[in-house]
């Protein structure tokens, strides 16, 4: 079972650590264990409870009423709220609960309900990705089990692939070639970019994770893409990023090379004239518009 610091509870629920301590002392809501150095740590049941309390509080429940509710009453009240609530934070709390429980049906229920309500793009940008950012931070600090992180990531990945496969391919459109550098495995962002491009009628070829530059170069000469898109999250090594960027710009000089990710965004990286750094995948929208306009004009 994973363990959480009080800061983890604060980060995931939005309830201040100071408030959690007061509730702990006044209402005995939690019984945290302590490390040998007397630092509190909490378990998965504590995390689910604080998430449920956050949801109930945001809908007018007073803490004095919540402490008199049993587990079943809390669960039913939160389920009813999240079923009809338009609050994005409520939906993220529900996703977190499904991650903690490793409950695929609960996760898909939340996801599909919100896709029907808001549409796929809004759900991805305003619910799933903020949620995944929180999960990523917890994973890096060892606050969640890697299995829980992989469980959620794979469900999101499967959903993106299914949604992308539902979109028709437009062979007459300019081609985007999407890939991740060698040793780069974080593909959710670029999977979403692939969906976004295809949904907007743009042709793509998606190579996925950890593509050797030599293999990419061979495919490049065969496909002659108008654009190349990649993301650098944890690769290449920081000392090799500038060299890698230089190679991309020079090897694929007849294409517009789009790069994003923490390795290049807000870093002191120099780029060639045929390259553009995207601060986020939101920056794709102007390029999509530009591509569609150019394609219309050429026809």
pLDDT tens digits, 246-296: 999 999 999 999 999 889 998 999 999 999 999 987 899 999 888 876 666
Rg (CA), the chain: 22
DSSP percent split of the chain into helix, strand, coil, nearest 5: 60, 10, 30
Residue 147 token pair? 């299995």
N-term to C-term CA, the chain: 59
Confirm if 251 and 224 have CB atoms less than 8 A apart: no
Report how far residue 158's alpha carbon sits from residue 48's, in angstroms, rounded to the nearest whole number.
25
Tally the C-alpha atoms within 13 A of residue 280's C-alpha that lie toward its C-beta: 4
Residue showing tokens 């949801």: 55
Q: Which residues contact 216 (CB under 8 A, 6 or more apart)?
A: 177, 179, 207
CB 96: neighbour CB atoms within 10 A? 22
Report how far residue 62's alpha carbon sits from residue 82's, in angstroms, rounded to the nearest whole number.
18
Residue 296 token pair? 């219309």
**pTM given for the model:** 0.78
Nearest to 156 by CA among 113, 134, 124: 124
What pairing do the DSSP bridges indicate for beta strands 175-179 and 203-206?
A: parallel
**Could you read off the pLDDT tens digit of each residue along the chain, which spans 299 residues?**
577 888 888 888 889 999 999 998 898 888 888 877 877 888 888 888 998 999 899 899 999 999 999 989 998 898 888 888 778 888 888 888 888 888 999 999 999 989 998 999 999 988 888 888 777 666 655 556 778 888 888 999 999 999 999 998 877 788 999 999 999 988 988 999 999 999 999 999 999 999 999 999 999 999 999 999 999 988 899 899 999 999 999 999 999 999 998 899 989 999 999 999 999 878 999 998 888 766 665 55
Predicted confidence (pLDDT) per residue in 18-50, tens digit: 999 999 889 888 888 887 787 788 888 888 899
Phi-psi group of 228: left, alpha or beta (phi > 0 → left; psi -120 to 50 → alpha; rest → beta): beta
Confirm if 267 and 286 have CB atoms less than 8 A apart: no
């Amino acid at each position: 079972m994973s363990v959480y610091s009080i800061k983890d509870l604060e980060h995931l629920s939005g309830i201040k650590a100071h408030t959690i301590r007061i509730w702990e002392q006044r209402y005995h809501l939690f019984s945290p264990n302590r490390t040998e150095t007397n630092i509190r740590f909490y378990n998965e049941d504590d995390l689910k409870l604080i998430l449920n309390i956050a949801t109930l509080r945001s809908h007018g429940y007073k803490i004095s009423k919540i402490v008199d509710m049993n587990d079943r009453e809390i669960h039913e009240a939160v389920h009813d709220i999240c079923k009809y609530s338009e609050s994005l934070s409520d939906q993220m709390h529900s996703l977190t609960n499904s991650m903690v429980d490793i409950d695929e049906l609960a996760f898909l229920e939340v996801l599909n309900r919100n896709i029907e309500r808001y549409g796929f793009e809004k759900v991805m940008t305003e619910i799933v990705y903020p949620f995944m950012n929180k999960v990523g931070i917890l994973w890096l600090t060892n606050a969640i089990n890697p299995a829980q992180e992989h469980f959620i990531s794979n469900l999101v990945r499967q959903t993106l692939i299914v949604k992308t496969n539902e979109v028709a391919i437009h062979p007459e459109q300019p081609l985007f070639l999407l890939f991740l550098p060698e040793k780069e495995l974080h593909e959710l962002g670029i999977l979403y970019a692939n969906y976004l491009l295809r949904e907007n009628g743009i042709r793509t070829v998606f190579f996925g994770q950890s593509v050797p530059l030599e293999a990419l170069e061979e495919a490049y000469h065969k496909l002659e893409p108008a654009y190349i898109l990649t993301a650098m999250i944890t690769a290449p090594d920081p000392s090799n990023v500038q060299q890698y960027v230089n190679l991309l710009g020079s090897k694929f000089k007849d294409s517009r090379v789009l790069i994003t990710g923490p390795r290049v965004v807000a870093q002191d990286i120099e780029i060639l004239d045929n390259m553009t750094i995207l601060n986020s995948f939101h920056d794709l929208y102007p390029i999509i518009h530009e591509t569609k306009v150019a394609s219309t004009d050429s026809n």
